[in-house]
Chain A
Amino acid sequence: MAPLPDATMLEEQIGQWRSYLRRRQAIHTVDVAELEDHLREQVANLVQAGLATDEAFLVAVKRMGDLDALSREFAREHSERLWKQLVVLPSDSGTPPAAARTDAVVAFALAVGAALLVKLPAFFGVDPEKNPVFYVHNVPLFVLPLLAAYFAWKRRLDKTLIRGLAAAFVVAGVFANIYPWVPTGSTQSLSALHLPMALWFAVGIAYAGSRWRHVAGRMDFIRFSGELFIYYVLIALGGGVFTGFTLMIFEAIGINAERFVQLWLLPCGAAGAVLVGSWLVEAKQSVIENMAPVLTRLFTPLFAAMLVTFLATLLWTGRGIGIDRNVLIGFDLLLALVLGLLLYSISARDPGKAPGAFDVVQVVVVIAALLADAVALSAIAARISEFGLSPNRVAALGENVILLVNLGWSANLYVGFLRGKRSFADLERWQTDYLPVYPAWAALVVIVFPPLFGYL
């Protein structure tokens, strides 16, 4: 191609076009590069056919298609880039301010509702200080139905689905309260621990609505969960500061606000924050970038280094893993954390991108965690007869197996992807297909474990 006399002008125009395109959230820089190559070739061909450069540019841009339509097509294909906007508003017009206000009002009303519900048993004479287990056990039942209701309202779920969700919460309430627990038994605390996990699934169904059966719908819920966790931690930090000042300032005038903080501020704040946090995740998504994937990027290499060093040390020194009652739980948490790292890096990854260095690090983390867990499991298996099968140990073992299966197969899929034998979508699909396993196991612990172990 001979240098055009008005090449500078063309460069300028292409530059403007490029920066205009970059403002579209659905079109990434690398796609802009691809489109730009296309545009330039089109221009060159039109110039060869006899058009002036500026005319050629106009025609080429016109043929590229209307930019709104183009970015809508990109958004449809790359919904993960836009999940925020797509989830919040189905149209491209932007939420009208009135709708945004209604949303906020509903969310805050439900938050107040959750805060009051938490206090409700106290009005009927159930003292949280005398019945802490009752409280802990039922708190998710005060909060999560309201969160599900928020999404049911927001997504305009159909009646059958709402009835099904309501039934799930009622069943959960029944199983949390009918069993004749032996006081201080472990099955009751296990049930209290697993109930929210099972109910979170119900929230997920309310969140994703009809998209629950799709990979994208489930992935959105995974993203939402991660973002909510981060918002919740931030709100809790703020709440801590607020509490500190409340205590300090009333202390100064000789009034002890500790009772108020303990009985009202903490429980009501913790319950309401779930709703407020969820509303924030929904409403402010486009303002703050997703944090969970950023943290994942930061910590995955650190965990990889730590786990590899751990394994090397284990081999080098020949040390065994010390078996005490918390070791299995510790390794469960390790696997859960590695799964979290994997999930959130999957959720933010462009599935079309070729494997890179970060993917290798990711595989190293998963395989190292699997190896470490295998060492721990074999140490425990060798002495399981000695320990006996307490409910806690069975629950911890079950969770270990569930996470091990997930990560084992994930490692296989991921290695397949690195070797170019599989697409990244397979890994994504495996993770989203596996989601129902966790609440199923949690429900099992809540419903079957207590009678199985004699309510101990």
Chain B
Amino acid sequence: MEINKDLVAASSTPIVLAILSEGDSYGYAIIKRVKELSGGNMEWTDGMLYPVLHRLERLGHVEARWEASEIGRRRKYYRITPGGRAQLSEERRQWQAVDATLHGIWGSLSLSVPAAAEPLPQGA
């Protein structure tokens, strides 16, 4: 299933913050986690995540540090800050409001919205 670009962009902040609030992580692992959580429905182009991370860093929602990975390569890890947690709960409130609104209207429409498609086959 193709999710529209605007929706992907709008949801990127809460998704990244939520994933980081599970624990510190880095770009590749975040993307993997997004795939996992969405059952393969959300496919970000890998590179697009980094501008989002850098924006969150500039806003002080996350902080980054370079560390050696398990095989000795330099890797940039991100950690959520208290400001980021506050932002996340704010985003969460807003998304819940949107979700509740949609939920209400889906219920009142007797139209059957086709349920999420089968997860797309993943490369790796």
Contact = CB atoms under 8 A, between A and B. Distances in A.
A422 B60 contact: yes
A258 interface: no
A63 B45 contact: yes
B104 interface: no
A409 B30 CA distance: 37
A347 to B, nearest CB: 15
Interface in B59-108: 59-60, 63-65, 69, 71, 73-76, 83
Interface in B10-67: 26-28, 45-48, 50-52, 54-55, 57-60, 63-65
A73 B59 contact: no
Contacts, number: 85
Interface in A202-259: none
A37 B69 contact: yes
Chain A: interface size category: 35 or more
B115 interface: no
Interface stretch (A44-52, A106-114, A127-135, A161-169): A44-52
A425 B46 contact: no
Interface stretch (A4-12, A27-35, A445-453): A27-35
B123 interface: yes
Nearest to B65: A354
A289 to B, nearest CB: 22
B111 interface: no
A424 B51 CA distance: 17
A33 B46 CA distance: 14
Nearest to A77: B51
A78 to B, nearest CB: 7
A22 B57 CA distance: 22
A74 interface: yes
A46 B123 contact: yes
B124 interface: yes
B51 A34 contact: no
Interface residues of B, number: 28
A351 interface: yes
Nearest to A425: B58
A37 B76 contact: yes
B84 to A, nearest CB: 11
B51 A74 contact: yes
A31 B64 CA distance: 12
A425 B81 CA distance: 15
A352 interface: yes
Contacts of B45: 63-66, 69-70
Interface string A406-434: 00000000000000101111100000000
Contacts of A189: none
B47 A423 contact: no
Contact of B46 (A1, A42, A48, A77): A42
A73 B51 contact: yes
Contacts of A351: 58
A40 interface: yes
Identify which of B47, B51, B58, B65 gathers the most chain A CB atoms within 10 Å of its CB: B47
A66 B47 CA distance: 9
Contact of A352 (B54, B74, B123): B54
Interface of A: 1, 31, 33-35, 37-38, 40-42, 45-46, 48-49, 51, 59, 63-66, 69-70, 73-74, 76-78, 351-352, 354, 420, 422-426
Closest A-B pairs by Cβ, 3 of them: A423-B60, A65-B45, A49-B124
